[in-house]
Amino acid sequence: MNPAQALRRPARILVPLLAATLALTACSSTGSPADTSDAAAEGGWSYTDDTGKTVTLDAAPERIASYADYAIGLLSYDISPVAIFGRVDVASDFRFDDYDISDAAIVGNSYGEVDLEALAEAAPDLIVTGIYPTDREGTLDLEGPLYGLADAEQQAQLEKIAPIVAIEIGGDGLEVVESMNSLAEALGASDEAVATAKEAFDAASADLQAASEETGLEVTQLYADADGIYVVKPEDEPETQLYGQFGVDFTNLNPDGDYYWDIYSWENVGQMMTGDVLLTNIEGFQQEDLAAQPTFADSPALKAGQVHTWQSAALDYASQAAHMEELAEILRSSVKVS
């Protein structure tokens, strides 16, 4: 699979939200505060995810398997998954550095890879992953596989092990964060933990806004490979949309163009060399690779050395707070070159 295609799974790259409304009632979480489902009435657990699917269990799930991005969000609220699968090697994914995952079974280290036997052995009560819209209007493909899964057949095999819930990763970044919070709360995250993380998030967002205003720099977030450069459309990717709300000026040369990416071959990359700072996706070309491309060697940001390897953070308060702090530091250490 082409990395750019994988980044868009299940029909777009890294990416509004039918945010489910959750409530904890007698150890149950439901899609609406007014829910009176049989499960809730009997003290079970019910959760309606962002696809509209309701999962009902006899008791609140304690053993959670999760795709890496959402596992990090759960860990930030002291919920430790029993199994984790990701799109890169989980053991070397620096986003887990602050968490102890030694007791978690690592059941997948590349996109679409899930060791079903290892997952079954971990005996999860619930599996958490995501779903990305297929277009700017937020259309969800409910027939195709969820994010991180190879195909519908593999998804069906996972569902034989445990029910799956999905977080929609589209457009409005704050809505995605709130959906992550809602799921975490439904799985036992404390109000105190969420409130503490929210304080850090608010402080970091204020500082990022200050750094954006102080520097006035343009940031280009991209993925590059042998075929060319893919520039993220900031209103389509939740993280860039969120940071744009806090004043970050992302390169956006064709806001009404194709969904999610502006794509430039190496022959026409000169058109997008407007950014002062380049954030290069960790899975693609980095500074040396970009410098080796004759048509890109004159990029002002590249020549200034203002190129930073970038991996989108998990969409929870704590992860986003740390990521915004990092971006604020990058902005303050950079100068205007374009």
> Could you give the CA distance from residue 323 to residue 208 in angstroms, rounded to a whole number?
10
pLDDT score, position 338: 84
DSSP state of 90: G
Query: pLDDT of 82-108, one tens digit each?
Result: 999 999 999 999 999 999 999 999 999
Query: pLDDT of 149-201, one tens digit each?
Result: 999 999 999 999 999 999 999 989 999 999 999 999 999 999 999 999 999 99
Question: Is 59 within 8 Å of 81 (Cβ atoms)?
Answer: no
Smallest CA-to-CA distance from 219 within 295, 303, 296, 331 is with: 331
Neighbours of 126 (CB within 10 A): 23
Query: pLDDT of 197-243, one tens digit each?
Result: 999 999 999 999 999 999 999 999 999 999 999 999 999 999 999 99
Determine the average pLDDT of the residues in 276-287: 96
DSSP state of 102: T
> Could you give the CA distance from residue 318 to residue 18 in angstroms, rounded to a whole number?
22
Contacts of 177 (CB under 8 A, 6+ apart): 201, 242, 315, 316, 317, 320
pLDDT score, position 335: 98
In order of 177, 194, 284, 312, the CA distances from 316 in angstroms are: 5, 9, 25, 12
pLDDT score, position 17: 26
pLDDT score, position 39: 44
What does the block give as tokens for 219? 């940031």
Asked whether the predicted pLDDT for residue 251 surpasses 80, the reply is yes
Helix (H) or strand (E) holding 191: helix 191-215
Please report where in the chains the tokens 């550095």 appear, as a residue: 97
The band of 125, judged by pLDDT with boundaries at 50, 70 and 90, is very high
> Could you give the CA distance from residue 19 to residue 264 in angstroms, rounded to a whole number?
34
Asked whether the predicted pLDDT for residue 1 surpasses 90, the reply is no
List, in sequence order, every residue forming a beta bridge with 262; answer none if it has no partner: 231
Apex 3 CA angle, 329 and 233, nearest 5: 50
Helix (H, G, I), strand (E, B) or coil at 4: helix
Question: Is 126 within 8 Å of 165 (Cβ atoms)?
Answer: yes
Determine the average pLDDT of the residues in 233-260: 96
Q: Which domains does the chain have, with CATH numbers?
A: 3-189 (3.40.50.1980), 197-332 (3.40.50.1980)
pLDDT score, position 42: 60
Measured in degrees and rounded to the nearest 5, phi and psi for residue 331 equal -60, -45
Query: pLDDT of 3-46, one tens digit each?
Result: 333 444 333 333 322 222 222 222 333 333 334 334 444 679 99
Smallest CA-to-CA distance from 80 within 121, 122, 50 is with: 122
Contacts of 41 (CB under 8 A, 6+ apart): none
Asked whether the predicted pLDDT for residue 114 surpasses 60, the reply is yes
Determine the average pLDDT of the residues in 98-123: 97
Q: Please give the mean pLDDT across all residues of the chain.
A: 89
Helix (H, G, I), strand (E, B) or coil at 179: helix
